[in-house]
Structure 1
Amino acid sequence: MKKIFLVVFLIIAVFVITDLKPSPQTENNINFNSKNNIECLYYDPVDFVNIKQFELYNHGAAIRGSILPHHLLASDLIHEVFQNIRKQQYETVVLIGPDHESILMGKVFTTLKDWQTPMGVLRTEQNITRELLQNDFLIEDDSKLTKEHSISSIVPFVKYYMDDVKIVTLAMTKQTKLEDVEKLVDDLSCLVDTDKTLFISSVDFSHYLDLECANQMDAISMEAINSKDINKIMSFTNDNLDSPVSIVIMLKLMDKLYEADIHMLNHSNSELIVQQQMDETTSYITYIFTYD
């Protein structure tokens, strides 16, 4: 009887312990595959099964930049952007997104380590990253980049669609100063091969509002982006988007390097995607920047 009780107890214990294990998307479950690689913490294999094929934007010009979401609920919108860019030849991707914690105010985080993705290793462009780290507002922080889903959720898409490119990853705190943004723009302008680099800003738009209010905020955001109203964008809160500095650095890079044209690709909302009324939603707007 004691043996039966012990076996039952052990089975229950196994189930309890298994149930208490953190999910792959919890901050404490960070697995470093090797000393040189960091893992993409935010990854859902379902996003890469039966991928929807989109009608491509007929522009006939080179795509130099894009704005896309990092919320994986909007993975279809991310796929649409990458399907538009995948046939072009790039050597480097510069991926910019918010540091959602923003504890070290005004800092920008990066990593020199390569990324271990489910599709293989995505190499970091170390030469460019080391040069950027000469700025005192940049900090090398592998753990931060792994946990930050604005970066970690997009890296697998880069590897899937662009395979052997190298990447520079930058997580921007909300308080990043405009003068530091200007310095980053100047540095990147000197460091990258402008003909072989793709810039990506990973940004979600209106947060925590109902659909009607979110659409109103999105209209304001789109007007500010189209008119390149930097001061207005920098004043935005989560009602509009989660990383004004990530939008501003994109606009400044596109102007400085290419005088690129802005094209809105898609606009959606979490309520529309799940097809269920929600009190608090997140909206998504995608853009591509082209240059003849």
Structure 2
Amino acid sequence: MKSKTRKPNVAGSFYTDDPLHLTNQLKSFLDMVPPEKETDHPYLGFIAPHAGFTYSGQTAAYVYKIVEQLNPENIIIIGPSHYAYFNGISIDTMNYYQTPLGTVEINADIREKIAAQSKTFNYNQSAHSQEHSLEVQLPFIQIVAPKAKIIPIIIGNISYEEITETANILASIIKNNEKTILIASTDFSHFHHYNKALEMDHKAIDHIVHLDIMELVEDYNAKKIEMCGFIPAIVTIFALENLGYTNVTILKYENSGDVTGDHNSVVGYGALAISKNPVSKSELSSDEKKYLLKLARNTIRGQLRIPQDELPPSPAAILKQKRGAFVSLHKKGRLRGCIGYIQPIKSLEHTIKEMAISAAFQDNRFPPIETHEELEIDIEISVLSPIEEITDHKEIEVGKHGLIVKQGGYSGLLLPQVATEWNWDREEFLRQTCCKAGLPYDAWEKGAQIFCFTASIFNESMFK
């Protein structure tokens, strides 16, 4: 069968079509990037800009300087469709993409594995033939990872369920194919005054860094932020979150005004990298546990406008680390509210304050806590370990592990203590977690993903 090659569409406009000039320009960009500090938790995903190299090339170089160190074998590139409107996701059936620097091979095996898992994937030639958001990544890849194969994906109009399904598929592909990374292609605000662009872009990037995805979506829908690759970025964040990669680092931000000096109408560019969250210490001391419980109590009292206990300064650096955690409230032995973050999205201190408010006043299963019952409430905190996917359900230890079950757009979590309180065995724990996810009881036996974690669980009654 004759090989099919996608010819460059924006060579000579977004970037020079002269191979020598292009090579020298890219190497100059890369040489301007400061050396990256070594990390025990390598980056697995990135957000990179896709404007003309004159404007965003230096920012993109911050991503590709790290990609060069990673030396990936496969790079999944996800971009938006600027020119074609279509439903679903288009995954290119070409064999190669060409630039002035030569050809880049598409990994047909991985492409077929992705496409086979969902009807959301199709091939829309009009989407790929003109699209620049993928093409402008390729010259950098040819310089820093010349042997890497690519999987080019363009996202059209898709639902939230399709976003989560796609993220799960890509997470599985990355997990099962070593040295595979993910790059989302997006620019930020478009054609605002310099100061307005800074305001919008810093808001968007702050949401991404803290994984405040709901706030990101709300601000995007309210036009408070702009990202032409908004959905590719969300898919990338969700996919890596499934793999435990939740630490987002800002490598570089600037806008076209920083390059040209014209501040009247600028476009924003961000380079971000996603790695595992480093945790140097996992166990909390008694003083740290007491501090968090008092912090939760004071936060609830603050909302109720009643006197708070004196709170000493934060006792340890561990409380500044990003950790997943839940705050549970009990009244006379019965649950009165429970909400938390599964992933290590924010610092432990920030998480406990936010989840204390949510458990007390925003858990839809219960009415908000009232002032007269505050003293009857016992606070329990569960600080979670990193989440790991398991393939053999016999690895689950009742009383030690909490569970997460995911399938399609559905997900459910039960904390370790729930199985103990209800005297469930391993299989019943799995069935009930499936039920919590809104899935059939036997979904865990029929392809659903199973994740487990441990938790450090402590409550106020332990310290009375």
Query: 1:66 maps to which residue?
Result: 46
Query: 1:138 maps to which residue?
Result: 121
Counting only pairs closer than 5 Å after superposition, residues 11-30 of structure 1 correspond to structure 2 as: none
Preserved contact between residue 74 and residue 181 of structure 2 (Cα < 8 Å): yes
Secondary structure of 1:63's aligned partner: coil
1:112 counterpart = 2:93: yes
Cα offset, 1:35, TM superposition: 4.8
Query: 1:5 maps to which residue?
Result: none
Per-residue CA distance 1:100-152 (angstroms, 9 max, x = gap): 23511x32112121112222221111122123223222221344223111111
Structure 2 residue corresponding to 1:182, chosen from 158, 164, 179:
164
Query: 2:216 maps to which residue?
Result: 233
Per-residue CA distance 1:69-107 (angstroms, 9 max, x = gap): 000221111122111220223111010111123511x32
- Cα distance between partner residues in 1 of 2:129 and 2:246: 31
Higher mean displacement: 128-137 or 160-169: 128-137
- Cα distance between partner residues in 2 of 1:183 and 1:214: 32
1:261 counterpart = 2:242: no
- Cα distance between partner residues in 1 of 2:66 and 2:111: 27
- Cα distance between partner residues in 1 of 2:57 and 2:273: 16
Say if 1:212 and 1:47 are closer, same or farther in 2 by CA, change over 3 A: farther
Higher mean displacement: 218-227 or 185-194: 185-194
Say if 1:59 and 1:289 are closer, same or farther in 2 by CA, change over 3 A: farther
Preserved contact between residue 188 and residue 270 of structure 2 (Cα < 8 Å): yes
Per-residue CA distance 1:248-291 (angstroms, 9 max, x = gap): 1111112111334211011101111112232x210111111123
- Cα distance between partner residues in 1 of 2:232 and 2:147: 25
AA at the equivalent of 2:10: Y
Number of equivalenced pairs: 256
Structure 2 residue corresponding to 1:208, chosen from 191, 195, 204:
191
Preserved contact between residue 191 and residue 267 of structure 2 (Cα < 8 Å): yes
Query: 1:224 maps to which residue?
Result: 207
Query: 1:83 maps to which residue?
Result: 65
Query: 2:34 maps to which residue?
Result: 55
Cα offset, 1:190, TM superposition: 2.3
User: Deviating runs (4+, > 6 A) in structure 1?
Assistant: none
- Cα distance between partner residues in 2 of 1:143 and 1:122: 20
Cα offset, 1:243, TM superposition: 2.2
- Cα distance between partner residues in 1 of 2:205 and 2:181: 22
Preserved contact between residue 234 and residue 248 of structure 1 (Cα < 8 Å): no
Say if 1:194 and 1:126 are closer, same or farther in 2 by CA, change over 3 A: closer
**Which structure 1 segments of 5+ residues have no match?**
1-33
Query: 1:284 maps to which residue?
Result: 269
Which fold has the larger relative contact order, with Cα–Cα distance below 8 Å and residues 6 or more apart in sequence?
1
- Cα distance between partner residues in 1 of 2:262 and 2:200: 20
Preserved contact between residue 47 and residue 75 of structure 1 (Cα < 8 Å): no
Preserved contact between residue 209 and residue 247 of structure 2 (Cα < 8 Å): no
- Cα distance between partner residues in 2 of 1:286 and 1:230: 18
Higher mean displacement: 225-234 or 69-78: 225-234
TM-score, with length taken from structure 1: 0.81
Preserved contact between residue 171 and residue 240 of structure 2 (Cα < 8 Å): no
Cα offset, 1:241, TM superposition: 1.3
Per-residue CA distance 1:155-195 (angstroms, 9 max, x = gap): 2221221111111111112x321111111122122233354
Cα offset, 1:245, TM superposition: 1.0
Secondary structure of 1:282's aligned partner: strand
Preserved contact between residue 110 and residue 169 of structure 1 (Cα < 8 Å): yes
Preserved contact between residue 233 and residue 248 of structure 1 (Cα < 8 Å): no
Q: In angstroms, what is the RMSD of aligned CA positions?
A: 2.0
1:275 counterpart = 2:261: yes
TM-score, with length taken from structure 2: 0.52
Secondary structure of 2:75's aligned partner: strand
Say if 1:47 and 1:269 are closer, same or farther in 2 by CA, change over 3 A: farther
Preserved contact between residue 89 and residue 158 of structure 2 (Cα < 8 Å): yes
Query: 1:17 maps to which residue?
Result: none
Per-residue CA distance 1:208-260 (angstroms, 9 max, x = gap): 21111111101210221122122332341674211221111111112111334
Please say which structure displays the higher CA radius of gyration.
Answer: 2
Per-residue CA distance 1:22-71 (angstroms, 9 max, x = gap): xxxxxxxxxxxx85111222232354324231112214241211111000
Preserved contact between residue 125 and residue 168 of structure 1 (Cα < 8 Å): yes
Query: 1:7 maps to which residue?
Result: none
Preserved contact between residue 83 and residue 127 of structure 2 (Cα < 8 Å): no
Preserved contact between residue 252 and residue 270 of structure 2 (Cα < 8 Å): yes
